[in-house]
Amino acid sequence: MEKPRVAIVLLRKRFHFVYQLQSLLGEYIDFISYSIEEGINSYINCDLALVPSQEVAGIVKKYLMPQTELLVVRRTISKNAWIKISQIPSNTKVLVVNTYWEMSIQTIAVLYELGLYQLELIPFNNNQPENYQEIRYAITPNERESVPNYIEHTIDIGTRLVDVSTIFDILHKLNLVNQVTKQLLYSHMKEMVPVSPGFVNLFYRFYDTKEDFEQLLDMIDYVVLTFDVDRRVKIYNQHAVRFFRQIPRLLDQPLENLFTESSTKEICEVDELKDAVFSLYGIYYVINKSPILKNGQSSGGILTIRQCESIQNQNIKIHEAMAGQGHIAKYTFSNILGNHQAIRKAIFLAQKAACTDSDIIIEAESGTGKELFAQAIHNYSERCKGPFVAFNCAALSGSLLESELFGYEEGAFTGASRRGKQGLFEMATKGTIFLDEISEISIETQVKLLRVVQERELIRVGGTKIIPIDIRVIAATNQNLYQMVENKKFRMDLYFRLNVFNLRIPPLRERKSDISYLIKRFLEEKKVKVDFPQETMQVLFEHQWAGNIRELRNCIEYMASMGEGFGVENLPVHILNHFHQSQQKEEKDLEKIGQMDEIRAILKLLYEAEKDQRYIGRKELADKLLEQNIFLSEQSVRPILQKLSERGLVCIKQGRAGTKITERGKVRLTSEF
C-alpha cells in the first residue's frame, strides 16, 4: 500500500521535529520538509500539511494544492526535562533561550500550557543580550551556545517533542490508527509530559475496547459501521473504508455525507431498515439499519451494506439486464469536480431539475462533462432505479438512426432481424434517455422525434402498432440550439418541447480557479504525489482550454505517463506551442514599453525581493538598477511598472507599499525573451 504524503512547512530551516516524526512514523508516512525562508517554488501536493503555529498556517495556505488539510503541531518536553525545571526555586526569573525570539515565545507558551506558573519566564532577545544580567537561570532546548556567559545555571531541556495528541491527530486523519501504531503512541507517551493529560486517559480507556470491536468488524466481509445520536460515524470496518473511498475520512462524518442522492435520503432519515434495496454507485445493495439502545434510549445505530446476491424483484432483473448492456448511469453529482461559483450553480440547477420529471437540454462545449451531468441527474431523480440509455445522434443518420431510436418490425428493411428489434426509447422505459449532439439530427427525423417526445408513444419502423413509453429525455449539444432554430436548422416546436429546463455547463476558461483543484484530483487518480511547479500552473491558468476538462485531464495524464516531471518544457506540444505563441506576442508588447534588458532587470529585482518576503518601491528599484548601469529615474520606472501591471506581470500596492512580481511575471522572467 502506498504511503500517505505529509508536508512539514516551517518558517526557517530547523527540522528537529521533522526528524522526530520521521523516526517515529517514517515506516508508515512519507514526510517532506519545506522552509519558507529558503523559498517554495511549487504547489505542495500532499495528504496532510503540518505547521508549527497558526502564524505559519496563514502563510502556508497559498503554497498548498486546494483542499489540503492543515494541522498545527503541538509541542511538549520530556519527563526528564520537566524534573530538571521543577528544581528551580519558585518565583525565580528564568531566561528562555532559543536561536530566534519567536521560538523562545513558543517554548514559553508550551511550558505555561504544561502548568509551569511558579516561574517568571522571559524570552531572550538575541539583539540585546546585555538586558538580562540580573537573571541567574536559563532554560534552553539544545541552544547552549546562545545562552549569555553571565548565566550561572543553564537547564538544557533538549529538543521539544511532538505531543502525543498531535501524533494521534496525524494517524487519525490518515486512517492509520491500528494495533501497531497504537503501540507507538504508548511508547511515545512514556517519554513526555503530555500537553493534554485528559486525552491520554481517554485514549487508554476508549481504544482498548474500541480496537477489539474494530478487529471483530474487520472479520465481516461486508460494510459495517456504527453512528451516534447525531448520525455521525463512530466505528467502521475496512470494507467501509474501501466502499466510501471518495470520502477522505469516515470518522465523525454525518450519514448525510455518505448518502447524498435523493433516492438514498431514506437511509439517513428512517430509524430502521430491514433488507431494503438501494442503488449505490450504479449497483444494487441490501441495506439494514438498526438502533442501538442504552437504558431504553437510542444512542445511535448500526448500518450494514451488502451487495444483492439473489435477484427476486422483477424491476431489479430488468435493471440488471440493462446494466449488462451498458445502459446504466455510473456517475453522481459527487463525481462532478469543482468549487467555482459557476459550476456549483450548474450543479444546484441540475439537482432542482432532477427532482422533476421534465425534459432537459444541456448546452455546453465539448469536454465539459455533458454526459456526466446527465448521469448525475438520472441518479438523483426518482427514475434512478430504471435504465439510463445514452446515444450519440451524430453516430448515425437517416433510416439507420430512426431504426436505432424507435426500433423496427420483422422485414422492415433488407437485413432486418426476423424478430424485429426494440429501439433505444423502448429500452429506456421507466428510466432516462440521453441524446447527445441532438443538433446533428436531420429535420426529417426531428419531425418523428417530436411526436415521440410530445406524446410519449412511438411506432417502430415498418410497424403500425402504437407503443407507449415512460421516459425522461435529456438532450445535449455543443451548438447554440436557439440560433439554429432562428436559422431554420432545428425545429422550433421540438426545441421548446425539450427545453423545459435549460442547463448551461460553464467552460473551463470561465472557472479557472478550479484548475489547481482539478489537477490535484487527476494526480490522485494517477497515484502521483509530487509537488506541482508554480510556473507550469501559471501557464495552465493562461491556456484557453478549447477541450475543457477533457483536455486538462489528458494534459495531466500525458505528463504523468511520460515521467519527465511537470515542468513547462514537458507540457503537451499543442499547449507548449500556444504558450510560445503568446510569449512572442507578449514580447512584442513589452518592446513597446521599454528595453528588454530593463524589463528583465526590474522583474528580477522584484523576484529577489519576493524571496525575502517584501515589496520594493520605485526609488529602491531605480537605485538598484543604477548599480547594474541601467539608468532609469524613479519617474521613468513608474510608467514601466504601470504597463507591466496592466499585463499582469506585477502587482502595484497602494501608497508606499511597493510592487510585487506575480506568478505570471515569474513565468515571463524564466522564459526566453
339-372: pLDDT as tens digits: 999 999 999 999 999 999 999 999 999 999 999 9
Tell me the three state secondary structure of residue 37.
coil
What integer pLDDT is reported at residue 116 of this predicted model? Answer: 82
Tell me the β-bridge partners of 121: 94
What integer pLDDT is reported at residue 377 of this predicted model? Answer: 95
Residue 310 pLDDT level (bands cut at 50, 70, 90): very low
Which residue bears the cell 470494507? 239
What integer pLDDT is reported at residue 8 of this predicted model? Answer: 92
* Nearest in space to 554 (alpha carbons), one of 581, 518, 530: 518
C-alpha distance from residue 155 to each of 57, 85, 96, 178, 287 (Å): 31, 7, 10, 38, 62
What integer pLDDT is reported at residue 640 of this predicted model? Answer: 84
450 versus 216: the higher-pLDDT residue is 450
Q: Is the pLDDT of residue 211 over 60?
A: no
Q: Is the pLDDT of residue 309 over 60?
A: no
Contacts of 486 (CB under 8 A, 6+ apart): none
Q: Where are the alpha helices (DSSP H) in 219-308?
A: 238-243, 255-258, 265-269
What integer pLDDT is reported at residue 48 of this predicted model? Answer: 93
What single string gives the DSSP state of each residue in 342-410? Answer: HHHHHHHHHHHHHTS---EEEE--TTS-HHHHHHHHHHHSTTTTS-EEEEETTS--HHHHHHHHHEE-T
Query: Of 414-428, 546-560, 634-648, where does the model show the most confidence?
Result: 546-560
What integer pLDDT is reported at residue 345 of this predicted model? Answer: 95
Under a CB-based contact definition with an 8 Å cutoff, are residues 607 and 616 in contact?
no
Query: What is the sign, positive or negative, of the torsion defined by CA atoms of 277, 278, 279, 280?
Result: negative
Give the least confident one: 16-20, 151-155, 400-404, 603-607. Answer: 16-20
What single string gives the DSSP state of each residue in 590-626? Answer: HHTTS-HHHHHHHHHHHHHHHHTT--B-HHHHHHHHH
What integer pLDDT is reported at residue 312 of this predicted model? Answer: 37
Determine phi and psi for 391, rounding to 5 degrees: -150, 135
What integer pLDDT is reported at residue 370 of this predicted model? Answer: 95
What integer pLDDT is reported at residue 210 of this predicted model? Answer: 57
Mean pLDDT of 33-58: 88
Give the least confident one: 228-242, 276-290, 530-544, 550-564. Answer: 276-290
203 versus 420: the higher-pLDDT residue is 420
For residue 505, the 8-state DSSP code is P
In this structure, the number of other CB atoms found within 10 A of the CB of residue 377 comes to 28
Q: What is the pLDDT of residues 431-475, one digit of tens each?
A: 999 999 999 999 999 999 999 999 999 988 888 889 999 999 999
Contacts of 617 (CB under 8 A, 6+ apart): 656, 658, 659
Mean pLDDT of 628-635: 81
Under a CB-based contact definition with an 8 Å cutoff, are residues 498 and 386 in contact?
no
Q: Is the pLDDT of residue 313 over 50?
A: no
Output the furthest CA–CA distance in the chain (Å, rounded): 110
Q: What is the pLDDT of residues 55-71, one digit of tens each?
A: 888 888 889 998 899 99
Q: Is the pLDDT of residue 318 over 80?
A: no
Q: Is the pLDDT of residue 128 over 80?
A: no
Q: What is the pLDDT of residues 247-257, one digit of tens each?
A: 777 888 888 88
In this structure, the number of other CB atoms found within 10 A of the CB of residue 610 comes to 17
Q: Is the pLDDT of residue 77 over 90?
A: no
pTM, rounded to two decimals: 0.71
Q: Is the pLDDT of residue 622 over 50?
A: yes
Q: What is the pLDDT of residues 381-421, one digit of tens each?
A: 999 888 999 999 988 877 788 888 988 887 555 555 556 78
Q: What is the pLDDT of residues 223-252, one digit of tens each?
A: 888 888 888 888 888 888 888 877 777 888
249 versus 476: the higher-pLDDT residue is 476
What integer pLDDT is reported at residue 324 of this predicted model? Answer: 45
Residue 316 pLDDT level (bands cut at 50, 70, 90): very low
Which parts of 447-606 are beta strand (E)? 457-459, 466-468, 471-477, 501-504, 532-533
Mean pLDDT of 131-136: 84
Mean pLDDT of 577-606: 78
| Average pLDDT of the chain to the nearest whole number | 83
